[in-house]
Amino acid sequence: MTATAATRSGPQAIARARVIVSTVRSSARVRQLRVGLALTVALGVMFSISVSVGDFSIPLLDVVPAMLGLGDKGSVFVVHELRLPRALAGMMVGLAFGLSGAIFQSVARNPLASPDILGITAGASAAAVLAIVAGASFAVLALSAFGGAFLLSIAIYVLAYKRGVSSYRFVLVGIGLSSMAIALTHYMITRADIYEAAEANVWMIGSLNAVGWETIGPLTAVLAVFAPLALLLTGRLRALQFDDDMAKGLGVCVERSRLTLLLVGVALVAVGTAASGPIAFVAFLAPPIARRLTGAPLSLLPAALVGALIVLAADLVGRTAFSSTEIPVGIFTGLCGAPYFLWLLARANKRGLAQ
């Protein structure tokens, strides 16, 4: 027995093992790098198409010059005043949703635990509709949505807390509170007059219609603070993907790290929702797509990029598919997300039965 132990820990065995480890690790890293690059290029292309296509088409080649203020005046006006803020907002909202979804799903160790399923966006909607019914300005509406998202998250955390937060309690409490927030929202809509109700409805589906340059500032600021913070916390998030005991054993302050990460996730989803409304299923869909592409169990940046791609693509289709009217972006993401949601539920159910 000792003989085999020696051959397993001898210098030759270790050297061979190192070759295997570094080969496996570097091939995984190369794949992640490639996926990241491909997604960035795809996002750039999608962004340019978004700016180019519309009622007044601008040739793709003229898009970049027009962004810089070069070219004919008409193109520059359309790009600067209409398309650019919308595309920028769509991209940043998608980045925020994708990143937030990846954080939530990893912290809760559950693919169902994205902020839209947990009802954090529903909390934002309730607060936003309240602001609409009260006749508040757009800025107040956005602030109110931001606050609603935070309030609902705090409620989930407090109600789900029992010697730490377990994944299932977290999801169940979230779904419960989500229903309450939705009920409250519907109540307010039935009490509102018809114009306010219509405005509330469009906002709740999630739309980039109303976005202008004034939303870009706050979005950029929040993303600039919280996205790097999320990336800095990646190591801890990796440890938290195990169970609590394992994470503690690895030297992570579990409760503190979890709270910090959730705070980052909530801030990101709140600012996204405040800008565009709760665009359904982006936070829910982007992380698993990113994971499938990279093959890594945690892919924050790819999840953010996929989120941005989804929002821009859905908005583009919504704007251009039917010439007469614009379809809000949230309808398309909802159509794509729902089947995956059902599949996930069915699979979870099967697993539960198997155990």
Q: Does 348 bind another protein (CB under 8 A)?
A: no
User: Comparing C-alpha atoms, which of 77, 98, 83 is closest to residue 48?
Assistant: 83
Distance of CA 133 to the CA centre of its chain: 27
**352 is a contact residue toward another protein (CB under 8 A):** no
Give CA–CA dist 211/203, Å, rounded. Answer: 11
Q: Does 18 bind another protein (CB under 8 A)?
A: yes
Find where tokens 């599949």 sit: 343
Binding mask 24-53 for another protein (x = CB under 8 A): xx-xx-------------------------
For the bound state, the minimum distance from the C-beta of residue 259 to another protein, rounded and expressed in Å, comes to 16
Q: Which of 60, 232, 321, 348 binds another protein (CB under 8 A)?
A: 232
Residue 55 binds another protein, judged by CB under 8 A:
no
Check residue 161 and give left, alpha or beta (phi > 0: left; psi -120 to 50: alpha).
beta
Q: SS3 of 10, please?
A: coil
Does 355 sit near another protein (CB under 8 A)?
no
Which of helix, strand or coil describes residue 136? Answer: coil
Q: Determine if 245 is a binding residue for another protein (CB under 8 A).
A: yes
Beta bridge partners of 165: 161
Helix, strand, coil tally for the chain in percent (to 5): 80, 0, 20
User: Which region among 38-46, 139-147, 246-254, 259-267 touches another protein (by CB under 8 A)?
Assistant: 246-254
> Counting runs of H as helices and runs of E as strands, what totals does the chain give?
17, 0
The single residue among 241, 259, 320, 336 that binds another protein, judged by CB under 8 A, is 241
158, 205, 106, 175: CA torsion to nearest 10 = 40
Tell me which DSSP letter residue 80 carries. I
DSSP, collapsed to helix, strand or coil, labels residue 215 as helix
Q: What x/- string results for residues 92 through 111 when contact with another protein is judged by CB under 8 A?
A: --------------x--x-x
From candidates 224, 225, 246, 338, binder to another protein by CB under 8 A: 246
Nearer to another protein, 252 or 271 (CB): 252
Give the nearest distance from C-beta 283 to another protein in angstroms: 17
Q: Please tell me whether residue 176 adopts helix, strand or coil conformation.
A: helix
Report 293-322 residues binding another protein (CB under 8 A): 295-298
**Residue placing its CB nearer to another protein in the complex, 214 or 243:** 243
Among 80, 169, 186, 238, binds another protein (CB under 8 A): 238
Kindly state the tokens that stand for 247. Answer: 């994470």
20 part of the interface to another protein, by CB under 8 A: yes
Residues near another protein, by CB under 8 A: 1-2, 5, 8-9, 13-14, 16-18, 20-22, 24-25, 27-28, 106, 109, 111, 163, 232, 235, 238-239, 241-243, 245-246, 248-253, 291, 295-298
